[in-house]
C-alpha cells in the first residue's frame, strides 16, 4: 500500500533510502500436509496467478496429436485455449512465462500477440487465413455504443426463444433405458461451461425452386465468422470459472447449397433449406431436427467436446428489411439444437451481428428473453438450475439491470448479464467455492481392503462422480476424474494408477503399491480429484506392521519434511497397542531433556489407538531430537522409543526501506 506524502514533504529533495534489516519470526502450526478445501493438483494455484496473454498459435501442419499436446501444455501451465481451428491453430490465454517455450516447440511455426499480416497465412490454406482474420478482428478495440441505439429494436419482434418440437419428456427419457450420467443425445447444451463444438453453416441458394436473389461474397462470409467468434469470445471472457472453449467446423467459407432462397420465405419454411443443408453433409433423417441433432452429436464426438450446436446464417444483403417474411430475423431453440440469423438482422446490421449472436447463444444454453415484447413473466423458470426470469421487462419484476438477454447492443458492449439469466445458463455458485453449481458435483471414494505383504501396502478401489442434481431436467455432468492420490503418514501425495490406464471418466478404478514400510502403525489416506476442482472426502485407514521386538505400546511421530522457521510448533503423533490394550499415558522429551506429558487429541488416553499432539517451543535454529514413549493399562512401557529429528531454520530477514528527508536542495 502506498501512502501519498503531503505536498510540503514531497517537495523536500533529495530523498535518501535507508536499508534496515529486521528479523521476522513466523509462528505457525505444523499439522501435516492437510488438503485445503480448494486444493486441486490440476489447476493453477490461485495465490500464484500468472499474467495471461491473448495469443494466436499456429502449427506447422494439421496434426490432432500435436495440437492436443500444445493445448495440454497451455492448460498445465495455468492457461486456457478459447478457440480452436482443427487441427491447425488455436487462440489461447497463455501465461507470459510460457511464451518462449511455446515459440520454441518444433511443431509450432509461429505465435502472435498482435495483428497478423494475412498474406503470410496463405501458405497454410484459406481456413487458417480466415481464422487469422477473425483473430485480427477480435483484438481490435471496440467502442462502447450509446444506450439509446436501437431503443425500438424489439417492440414488434416475435419471441426469438423457441422450444424444439422433438424433445422427449423427462419421463420418456427415463423410461427409454438411458442411465448414463454424461450428456445424452438430446443434451447438447445443458449449461454453459466446458468445451463446445460449433458448426457454422451458411446457406447458398442454387435457384432450383426459388429464384436466387442472394449471393455470399468473400467479405460477407469472413464477417460472419468474425462476428460469431467475437460473440463466443464475449461469453468465454465473461465468466472464467466456466472454462469455455470453442471448436469450429467450417461450413461458412463454402456455404451449403439449397433449392430455396431462405430470406424470401417465412421462418416456418426453415425445414426446406435446413433439410437441403443437412443432406449436403450426408444427414438424411426423417426430421430436419433429427438431422441437425445427429450432426451436433457427431461434432461432439469428432472434436471430443462437452457440447455442440449449429449456427445457420442466411444471406440478406439484397433484402430490404433483413427479415424473413413473417418478421423473424434471429431466433434460437432453448437448449438447442440450433440458432438462425440473417446477415443484416433487422436494424442491427452485419457489424453488430456479434451482439445478436451473443443473445441467441444465451438461448442455446437455456437463457430466456427479457425484453418486454417477448412477454416473458418474472416467474417463468428455465435452465439446468430452473432459475426464475426476475430481470424481465415484462411485468413488475424485482430486478431491472442491463443484460444481454434484453437484446440491443449496449449490454453487449458493456459485458452485462443479470444474475437470473446467468443462473439459467448454469452460472451460479451457491456455496461460494468458485466452482459453478452444475460442476460442483459429489465425488465419492469406495476403497477396497488394503493388502499387507512384505512390508508393503497394495491398495485399490473405485471413485465415482454423481452429477449436480437438476430440479427438473435429467441430471448430467461433464466432469471427469483426473487423479486419485494416496499418501502415508501425512507425507507427500503420490499418484495411483488408473486400471484402464487413464483417469478421464466419471467412474475410475485405481490401484497402488506403496514403497517398503517400517514396522509400526501407518496412516493411509486416499483422495480423488476431478476436472472442475472438486476433491473427495479423504478415505483414511490405519495399518499396523507389528514390531516383534516391541509388541506392546508404541508411538510414532509425523514430522514436517521441510525445515521450519517457527517458535511454536505442533507435532502430530499416534500411540497404539499391538495387542489391543489401552494406552493410558504418553510422555515426550526434547534433546534429552526432562520427560513431559503429551496431550491426547480427544482429551484422555483410554483406547488402543490414540492420536496426540505435542506443542513445542523451539526458540533457536538447529536440530531438535524428539522422543516419545507410551504406557498401557498394565504399566508396560514402550521398549523402543519413537525418535525423530526436526530442523528449525534461521528466521527470515526482511528489508524495509524508509525515506530519509534532508533539508538541502
Residue boundaries of the structural domains of the chain: 1-33+548-665, 46-138, 161-424, 441-537
Query: Above 90 in pLDDT, residue 515?
Result: yes
First to last CA, the chain: 28
Section 490-502 average pLDDT: 96
**pLDDT at 566 (0 to 100):** 65
The percent helix, strand, coil of the chain (3-state, each to 5) is 20, 30, 45
Query: Above 80 in pLDDT, residue 113?
Result: yes
Instruction: Give me 624's grid cell.
Output: 531438535
Alpha helices per DSSP H over 345-428: 353-364, 410-413, 419-424
Confidence label for 176 from pLDDT (cuts 50, 70 and 90): low
Contact 424, 370 (CB under 8 A): no
Query: Above 90 in pLDDT, residue 345?
Result: yes
Place of cell 443484460: 403
Instruction: Give me 435's grid cell.
Output: 466452482
Query: Above 70 in pLDDT, residue 184?
Result: yes
Burial class of residue 77 in the structure, from the number of CB atoms within 10 Å of its CB (0-12 exposed, 13-18 middle, 19+ buried): middle
H or E segment and range at residue 624:
strand 622-632
Contact 547, 518 (CB under 8 A): no
Section 152-174 average pLDDT: 76
What DSSP string describes 569-622? EEEEEEEEETTSPPEEEEEEEETT---EE-EETTS---SSEEEEEEEEE--SSE
**pLDDT at 231 (0 to 100):** 98
**pLDDT at 656 (0 to 100):** 45
Contact 339, 364 (CB under 8 A): yes
Instruction: Give me 180's grid cell.
Output: 448414463
The DSSP code for 493 is -
> SS3 of 155, please?
coil
**CA–CA gap between residue 321 and residue 327 (Å, rounded):** 9
- Fold classification of 1-33+548-665 is Immunoglobulin-like (2.60.40)
Instruction: Give me 125's grid cell.
Output: 490454406
The more confident residue out of 95 and 23 is 95
**CA–CA gap between residue 572 and residue 490 (Å, rounded):** 9
Query: Above 60 in pLDDT, residue 13?
Result: no
Query: Above 70 in pLDDT, residue 43?
Result: no
- Fold classification of 441-537 is Immunoglobulin-like (2.60.40)
Contact 229, 134 (CB under 8 A): yes
- Mark 1-22 as b/e (b = at least 16 C-beta within 10 Å): eeeeeeeeeeeeeeeeeeeeee
Beta-carbon neighbour count of residue 103 at 10 Å? 13
pLDDT in tens, 531-553: 999 999 999 999 988 888 888 99
Section 132-140 average pLDDT: 97
Confidence label for 175 from pLDDT (cuts 50, 70 and 90): low
pLDDT in tens, 350-371: 999 999 999 999 999 999 999 9
Query: Above 70 in pLDDT, residue 25?
Result: no
Find, among 154, 123, 52, the residue nearest to 370 by Cα.
Answer: 154
Confidence label for 6 from pLDDT (cuts 50, 70 and 90): very low
Query: Above 90 in pLDDT, residue 306?
Result: yes
**CA–CA gap between residue 476 and residue 281 (Å, rounded):** 29
pLDDT in tens, 414-458: 999 999 999 999 999 999 999 999 999 999 999 999 999 999 999
Section 242-264 average pLDDT: 97
**pLDDT at 652 (0 to 100):** 60
**pLDDT at 115 (0 to 100):** 97
Find, among 439, 372, 435, 456, the residue nearest to 406 by Cα.
Answer: 372
Q: What percent of the chain has pLDDT over 70?
A: 86
Place of cell 497463455: 94
Q: What percent of the chain has pLDDT over 90?
A: 77
Strand residues in 206-301 grouped as ranges (E): 245-258
46-138 is classed in which CATH architecture?
2-Layer Sandwich (3.30)
- The CA distances from residue 87 to 58, 68, 287, 531, 572, in Å, are 10, 9, 32, 23, 52
Burial class of residue 164 in the structure, from the number of CB atoms within 10 Å of its CB (0-12 exposed, 13-18 middle, 19+ buried): middle
Query: Above 50 in pLDDT, residue 83?
Result: yes
**pLDDT at 39 (0 to 100):** 45
**pLDDT at 8 (0 to 100):** 31
Strands 642-648 and 596-597: unpaired
Q: Would you say the CATH fold of 441-537 matches that of 1-33+548-665? A: yes
Find, among 463, 509, 514, 519, the residue nearest to 487 by Cα.
Answer: 514
Instruction: Give me 644's grid cell.
Output: 525423530
Chain centre distance of CA 346: 36
Instruction: Give me 289's grid cell.
Output: 431436427
Alpha helices per DSSP H over 169-266: 170-175, 218-238
**pLDDT at 7 (0 to 100):** 31
pLDDT in tens, 187-228: 999 999 999 999 999 999 999 999 999 999 999 999 999 999
**pLDDT at 620 (0 to 100):** 84
Q: What is the pTM of this model?
A: 0.84
Strand residues in 25-170 grouped as ranges (E): 52-59, 80-85, 89-95, 108-112, 161-162
Average pLDDT across the chain, whole number: 88
Section 573-583 average pLDDT: 92
Section 481-504 average pLDDT: 96
Amino acid at each position: 500500500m502506498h501512502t501519498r506524502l503531503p505536498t510540503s514533504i514531497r517537495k523536500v529533495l533529495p530523498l535518501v533510502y535507508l536499508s534496515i534489516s529486521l528479523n521476522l519470526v513466523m509462528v505457525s502450526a505444523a499439522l501435516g500436509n492437510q488438503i485445503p478445501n480448494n486444493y486441486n493438483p490440476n489447476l493453477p494455484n490461485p495465490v500464484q496467478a500468472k499474467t495471461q496473454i491473448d495469443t494466436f498459435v499456429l502449427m506447422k501442419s494439421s496434426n490432432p496429436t500435436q495440437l492436443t499436446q500444445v493445448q495440454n501444455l497451455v492448460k498445465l501451465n495455468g492457461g486456457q485455449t478459447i478457440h480452436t481451428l482443427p487441427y491447425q491453430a488455436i487462440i489461447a490465454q497463455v501465461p507470459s512465462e510460457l511464451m518462449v517455450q511455446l515459440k520454441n516447440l518444433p511443431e509450432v511455426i509461429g505465435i502472435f500477440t498482435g495483428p497478423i499480416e494475412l498474406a503470410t497465412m496463405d501458405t497454410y490454406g484459406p481456413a487458417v487465413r480466415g481464422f487469422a482474420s477473425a483473430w485480427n478482428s477480435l483484438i481490435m478495440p471496440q467502442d462502447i455504443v450509446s444506450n439509446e441505439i436501437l431503443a425500438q429494436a424489439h417492440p414488434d419482434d416475435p419471441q426469438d426463444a423457441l422450444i424444439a418440437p422433438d424433445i422427449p419428456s423427462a419421463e420418456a427419457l427415463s423410461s427409454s433405458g438411458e442411465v448414463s450420467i454424461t450428456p445424452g443425445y438430446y443434451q447438447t447444451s445443458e449449461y454453459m461451461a466446458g468445451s463446445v463444438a460449433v458448426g457454422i453453416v451458411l446457406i447458398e441458394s442454387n435457384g432450383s425452386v426459388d429464384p436466387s436473389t442472394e449471393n455470399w461474397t468473400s467479405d460477407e462470409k469472413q464477417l460472419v465468422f468474425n462476428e460469431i467468434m467475437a460473440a463466443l469470445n464475449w461469453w468465454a471472457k465473461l465468466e472464467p470459472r466456466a472454462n469455455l472453449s470453442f471448436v469450429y467446423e467450417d461450413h461458412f467459407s463454402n456455404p451449403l447449397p439449397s433449392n430455396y432462397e431462405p430470406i424470401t420465405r417465412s421462418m416456418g419454411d426453415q425445414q426446406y433449406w435446413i433439410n437441403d443443408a443437412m443432406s449436403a453433409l450426408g444427414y438424411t433423417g426423417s426430421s430436419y431436427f433429427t438431422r441437425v441433432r445427429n450432426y451436433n452429436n457427431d461434432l461432439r464426438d469428432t472434436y471430443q467436446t462437452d457440447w455442440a450446436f449449429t449456427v445457420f446464417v442466411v444471406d440478406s444483403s439484397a433484402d430490404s428489411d433483413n427479415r424473413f417474411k413473417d418478421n423473424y430475423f434471429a431466433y434460437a431453440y432453448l437448449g438447442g439444437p440450433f440458432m438462425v440469423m440473417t446477415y443484416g438482422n433487422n436494424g442491427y446490421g452485419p457489424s453488430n451481428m456479434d451482439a445478436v449472436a451473443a443473445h441467441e447463444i444465451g438461448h442455446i444454453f437455456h437463457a430466456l428473453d427479457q425484453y418486454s415484447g417477448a412477454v416473458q413473466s418474472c416467474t417463468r423458470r428455465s435452465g439446468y438450475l430452473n432459475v426464475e426470469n426476475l430481470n424481465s421487462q415484462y411485468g413488475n419484476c424485482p430486478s431491472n439491470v442491463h443484460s444481454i438477454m434484453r437484446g440491443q447492443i449496449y449490454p453487449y458492449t458493456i459485458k452485462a448479464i443479470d444474475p437470473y439469466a446467468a443462473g439459467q445458463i448454469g452460472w451460479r455458485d451457491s456455496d461460494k467455492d468458485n466452482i459453478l453449481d452444475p460442476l460442483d458435483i459429489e465425488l465419492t471414494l469406495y476403497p477396497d481392503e488394503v493388502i499387507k505383504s512384505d512390508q508393503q501396502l497394495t491398495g485399490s478401489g473405485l471413485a465415482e462422480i454423481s452429477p449436480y442434481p437438476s430440479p427438473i431436467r435429467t441430471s448430467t455432468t461433464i466432469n471427469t476424474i483426473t487423479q486419485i492420490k494416496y499418501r502415508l503418514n501425512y507425507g507427500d501425495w503420490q499418484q495411483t494408477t488408473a486400471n484402464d490406464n487413464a483417469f478421464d471418466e466419471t467412474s475410475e478404478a485405481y490401484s497402488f503399491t506403496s514403497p517398503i514400510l517400517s514396522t509400526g502403525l501407518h496412516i493411509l489416506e486416499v483422495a480423488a480429484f476431478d476436472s472442475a476442482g472438486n476433491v473427495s472426502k479423504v478415505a483414511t485407514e490405519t495399518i499396523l506392521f507389528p514390531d516383534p521386538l516391541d509388541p506392546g505400546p508404541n508411538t510414532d511421530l509425523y514430522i514436517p519434511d521441510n525445515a521450519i522457521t517457527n517458535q511454536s510448533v505442533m507435532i502430530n503423533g499416534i500411540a497404539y497397542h499391538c495387542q489391543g490394550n489401552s494406552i493410558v499415558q504418553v510422555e515426550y522429551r526434547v534433546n534429552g531433556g526432562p520427560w513431559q506429558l503429551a496431550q491426547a487429541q480427544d482429551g484422555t488416553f483410554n483406547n488402543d489407538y490414540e492420536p496426540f499432539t505435542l506443542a513445542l517451543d523451539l526458540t533457536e535454529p538447529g536440530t531438535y531430537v524428539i522422543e516419545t514413549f507410551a504406557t498401557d493399562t498394565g504399566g508396560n512401557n514402550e521398549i523402543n522409543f519413537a525418535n525423530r529429528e526436526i530442523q528449525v531454520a534461521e528466521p527470515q530477514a526482511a528489508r524495509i526501506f524508509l525515506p530519509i528527508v534532508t533539508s538541502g536542495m
